[in-house]
Homo-oligomer: A and B are copies of this chain.
């Protein structure tokens, strides 16, 4: 499958089968994420694959309650990956200060998308989730104060064909040549 076909195949899955996900598939997704480029090669990430009970259900129920209920579909995902953003190395952090931007967020975007695209190739469904109760997730996983969990990835087999992707801008609208 060419890369563009893989990109077209990736959809946000919001309806999961209860079937467990094979460890070797997750392992290859992690390997794809591991090899992602990052600012100053800082690799500011740790992927916590939450799959065992009762931890997974507890985490999901707390993460997606109250104002975050709109993402409660993810409670049914057999695997939830909590992506921990680590504090940056000095060079990237100093450069980020001068540039008024957080490189680790860009890095997290790259590494998680590597995970997601490999999962797509493995026949798995995924959903990026950025709206959840981070404090509850950190408590469930007993993470340290400065560590952030910016992103959760819901992973599993799709119960049914995911909805088509949201409408994208045309090429002419999102790009130009000069």
Spell out A's residues near B (CB within 8 Å).
Answer: 2-4, 6-8, 10, 12, 23, 26-28, 30-37, 39, 41, 43, 45-52, 55, 95, 99, 101-103, 105-110, 112-114, 116-118, 121, 128, 130-131, 134, 141, 148, 150-151, 165-169, 171, 174-178
Contacts and interface: CB of A to CB of B under 8 A. Distances in A.
Contacts of A8: 35
A49 B178 contact: yes
Contacts of A165: 35, 37, 41
Q: How many copies does the complex hold?
A: 2
Contacts of A55: 178
Nearest to A95: B131
Contacts of A176: 46-49
A148 B121 CA distance: 33
A65 to B, nearest CB: 15
Contacts of A95: 130-131
B106 A171 contact: no
